[in-house]
Amino acid sequence: NSKVIQTPRYLVKGQGQKAKMRCIPEKGHPVVFWYQQNKNNEFKFLINFQNQEVLQQIDMTEKRFSAECPSNSPCSLEIQSSEAGDSALYLCASSWTGGNNQAPLFGEGTRLSVL
Amino acid sequence: GDQVEQSPSALSLHEGTGSALRCNFTTTMRAVQWFRKNSRGSLINLFYLASGTKENGRLKSAFDSKERYSTLHIRDAQLEDSGTYFCAAEAMSNYNVLYFGSGTKLTVEP
C-alpha cells in the first residue's frame, strides 16, 4: 500500500488545456520528486522540492509546468498548456534527505492522456 | 537515462529456472533501487541498496558502487514473476535524483 497519495489516478485533457495533478508525500518526508514515464518506459526527472523550495528542475518543467509544494497542502504539478507528447504516467516520490539509506517511496501515479 | 544501462531488455524463462538482470552505471551512484511494474502500471519496490546484497524470497540483489553495477537475481521463476523490472540509481550529488534503466520485460513460461 503506497504511502504517497497521488490524485487523480487518470486525467484526460485536450491539447492546450491545463492539466493539474496532486501528490501527498509520506508524512514527515521533506523531499518530493516528480518523474514522467512515457509509453516507451523511459523515465524523466522533472523537478524536486525540499519542503517548499525547488531544488532542481529541468528546462521543460521551468518553461511549461507550474509546480509547488506548499506547507500543509498537497504538492501539485500543472502543465500550463497540454501537448500530445505530455501523455504519460506522472510519478511522485518522497524521501528523507540524502544519505540516510532509506528508499524513496513512490505513488501510483497520475496517467495523463492528452487528446 | 544515459547514466544507467540495463540489460537484457527482454528475458524469457521457463518456470523453475533463474537468471539475472544487470544495470551498469556511468558514474558512481549512492544507492540503487529495483522495481517491478505491476498490472496497473505502478512501481513496486523490490530492493533498495546502498551497498552489498539483499535477499527476499526468490529474489536477490547486489550493488557495487565502486565497480558501478547492480544485479537482480531471480531463482525458481514463477508465472507471476512476469512483468517489467526497472533499476534506478540514486545520484551521489544530484539531490538524490533517480536515474532509471530502460527496463527488462520478463516473461515466465510454463
Phi, psi dihedral angles at A59 (to 5 degrees): -60, -45
The whole-number pLDDT of residue B94 equals 65
Helices (H), ranges, A37-98: 59-64
Length of chain A: 115
Q: What is the mean pLDDT of residues B21-29?
A: 95
Looking up residue A23, the CATH number of its domain turns out to be 2.60.40.10
Can you give the residue range of the structural domain that contains A66?
5-98+105-114
Give just the sign of the alpha carbon dihedral A96, A34, A45, A105.
positive
**Cβ-based neighbour number of residue A36 at 10 Å:** 22
Q: What is the mean pLDDT of residues B32-49?
A: 91
CATH code of the region B4-105: 2.60.40.10
Substitution target in B6, B43, B106 with the highest count of A β-carbons within 10 Å is B43
The whole-number pLDDT of residue B91 equals 81
How far A50 CA sits from the closest chain B CA (Å)?
Answer: 9
Question: Partners of A17 in the beta sheet?
Answer: none
Q: Using DSSP, state whether A70 is helix, strand or coil.
A: coil
Start-to-end CA distance of chain B, whole Å, equals: 34
The whole-number pLDDT of residue A1 equals 54
- As a whole number of angstroms, the distance between CA A104 and CA B48 comes to 9
- As a whole number of angstroms, the distance between CA B110 and CA B108 comes to 7
Q: Which of A36, A65, A42 shows the shortest CA–CA distance to B101?
A: A42
The whole-number pLDDT of residue A99 equals 62
Do B96 and A93 make contact, defined as CB atoms within 8 angstroms?
Answer: no
More confident site: A31 or A62: A31
What is the count of structural domains for chain A? 1
Render pLDDT for A13-38 as a digit per residue (tens, 0 to 9).
Answer: 999 999 999 999 999 899 999 999 99
Which residues of B are less than 8 Å from A50 in CB distance? 95
> Is a pLDDT exceeding 60 seen at residue A57?
yes
